Amino acid sequence: MTTDNCTFHATGERGSGRAYFDGDQTARREPCPPTMALARPELGNEPVVSIHGLNHRFGRGDISQQVLFDIDLDIKPGELVLLTGPSGCGKTTLITLIGGLRSIQDGNLEVLGRNMRGLARQDQVETRRDIGFIFQSHNLLDALTAGENVSLALDLKTYKPDRLREHASNLLGIMQPDARNERLDAVPRRVDALARTLTIGLLEHLRLGERVDHKPHQLSVGQKQRVAIARALVNHPRLVLADEPTAALDKASSEIVIDLFKRLTRSGSTILIVTHDSRIMDQGDRVITMKDGRIQSNVMIDESIRVCVFLQSVPLFSGLPPGQLVDVAEQLRKETHAADACIIRQGEAGDKFYLIKEGTVEVRVAEGSTGMQVATLGPGQFFGEMALLENQPRNATVTARNHLECYTLSKQAFLNARAAFAPMRDELLKVYAQRYRSG
């Protein structure tokens, strides 16, 4: 078993100590040191996107409407940035400007070292070739198969065979480090063969291996979205602009996509995601919130903020206001247990409360010489509270069924939180009553 402390601090752009929560809510603590820059040394430190004083309007004359106001933003190499905010706040407009799909009206915008204002058409094309676009509407070509839609993006780069093989080896290595050479060794050094091998590898990674030769009308909405994601990533672009890439995906597919995004950022890409998806709000390096055409907050995320975001998803803690949520987070300790490890044993003294982050546990109650499994618990569920509430020995044995990550509160911290926070107390009472009846 390994343990480490989970303390809470967060910094905005100036190390202000402000913590990020959904909407306008903030939790304040003592000032803390500025967060270290996230750019990887090998990627350089010049911004991939640099925006200063950007304004944008739709329409002309009396009917014109301003949709972006004085946007200032730098995005460093290797960052995974989440851009969120209510519908109509200007998120999509901003990323289309960054991607060169709209003309700059007022302000300065540099992308991949090029000033986008007044950029010649050919230079705009060259810039877009280094950007991967993921659109909400997929924009797949109906006459092409899934594989052909993805391979089409490779055609835009006019690879030579040796260069394409090197690129395929690198990208497949990011996804499947142990299998890339085996997959490529038998492939002829022809562009079409190499492109298809890379395309199939990428689609298989996204759980679309059986859909490579299907056309868009034969695919579900989520499958189309994953094809569009593959098309955007197949060239391992320096910059990826993604508009709601996980909105149509189930939990498993979403996790695969976000994991791939993270792998790509570690290998040179910078990714900006427009999202309302609460499932991924703790997965980025930074969360930028927009409202009414302005950047409302721009906050770095560290592990401690991820703890708070996780707590917000757990019914036991979801009713706590931000300040109280931080108070609980500051008390938490993280534990990791191997599969089959005994976490608590029936009859022992209770000294901790356990909240499952990842993995599952089996709860068994011994009766005489026999035992009976009474529950299986998973992420967001908790155990160990009854011995603390009743000041009695443990009434069950809990064993990890697989790799387990959980947060713990000491007995005193748990009892203090229960006494102080009415929403937590009410939720505990409901669960306690259910378990008492079933026990």
For the stretch 88-115, pLDDT in tens is 999 999 999 999 999 999 999 999 999 9
For the stretch 236-274, pLDDT in tens is 999 999 999 999 999 899 999 999 999 999 998 999 999
Residue intervals in the chain for CATH 3.40.50.300: 27-302
For the stretch 37-89, pLDDT in tens is 333 334 567 899 999 999 999 998 888 899 999 999 999 999 999 998 888 99
CATH of 27-302 among 3.90.480.10, 3.10.450.40, 3.40.50.300, 3.30.200.20 = 3.40.50.300
Q: 310-438: what fold? A: Jelly Rolls (2.60.120)
Global pTM value: 0.65
B/e letters for 65-75, b = 16+ CB within 10 Å, e = fewer, are eebbeebebeb
pLDDT, residue 302, reads 72
Residue 436: band (very low, low, confident or very high) from pLDDT cuts 50, 70, 90:
low
d(CA 170, CA 349): 53
Q: Which residue has the higher pLDDT, 305 or 389?
A: 389
For the stretch 220-229, pLDDT in tens is 999 999 999 9
Residue intervals in the chain for CATH 2.60.120.10: 310-438
- Find out whether 244 and 276 touch, Cβ atoms under 8 Å: yes
